[in-house]
Amino acid sequence: MRQFSANLGFLWQDLPLPDAIRAAKSAGFDAVECHWPYDTPAAETRQALEETGLAMLGINTIRGNPGENGLAALPGRETEARAAIDQALDYAKEIGAGAVHVMAGFATGPQAHATFVENLCYAADRAPDLTILIEPLNRHDAPNYFLTTTDQAREIIAETGKPNVKLMFDCYHIGRTEGDVTTRFRALQPLVGHVQFASVPDRGIPDQGELNFAHIFAQIAAAGWTRPLGAEYKPGRPTGETLGWMDALRG
């Protein structure tokens, strides 16, 4: 049976993180993930995870200053970027999370590329037992974000030469930017460290929109993926009222 992870950056946003973890367990999720848990002491997060038996699959590095969307590809900001990486890696280790998404930020050009690669190598070397994720974001939601396509991500991953640097395959972002989601997954599967999903184009509940997730999830499973799929959608109303898709898509 297919497994799902609740992304608590979007789901149960009205609850403190430990209570959101408990709500995800009660709703039948198999794991959780989040964006920026740092306002919650790691001990409290770990306690909720241990209490529920859920794993925290991953967290993000901080965005930076107001209006920013990550630091790791910003030339001249390496000290801040690595402090953000250290913060995320330390928190992840304290709570037993398996991955850290290193956010690139708004940048462009070869110097940004080189800076991103260097910072990813730093993260990968500092935590060889964790997965370091990078995620292409679509141009509609994140204009001017450095990392925009899976081809660019593949090049960067190859350049790092680090086996624990992987791709966050977000069906929503890829659906909006590139399309052909199942073909892209099959081509990129050896590089994929986590899968996320939401409807296209509104990033809403995954039982409507342009993508047929029953088909997509069946194809992902046929390709050999057995780990939880991350529900990172905007519920638009109380999360508990939006979970009818889970039974239909369990497979």
DSSP per-residue codes, 39-108: TS-HHHHHHHHHHHT--B-EEE----STT--BSTT-TT-HHHHHHHHHHHHHHHHHHT--EEE--B-B--
The class that CATH gives domain 4-249 is: alpha beta
Quick check: is 135 catalytic? yes
pLDDT in tens, 153-177: 999 999 999 999 999 999 999 999 9
Residue 19 has pLDDT above 90, yes or no: yes
DSSP per-residue codes, 113-150: HHHHHHHHHHHHHH-TTSEEEE----TTTSTTBS---H
Residue 193 in 3-state DSSP?
strand
Asked if residue 18 lies in contact with residue 50, where contact means CB atoms within 8 angstroms, the answer is: no
pLDDT in tens, 55-76: 999 999 999 999 999 999 999 9
Global pTM value: 0.97
Of 161, 142, 162, 144, give the one whose Cα is nearest residue 170. Answer: 142
Residue 251 has pLDDT above 90, yes or no: no
Asked if residue 75 lies in contact with residue 115, where contact means CB atoms within 8 angstroms, the answer is: yes
Write down the mean pLDDT value for the chain.
97
**Catalytic one of 33, 155, 210, 232:** 232
**Catalytic one of 135, 159, 178, 241:** 135
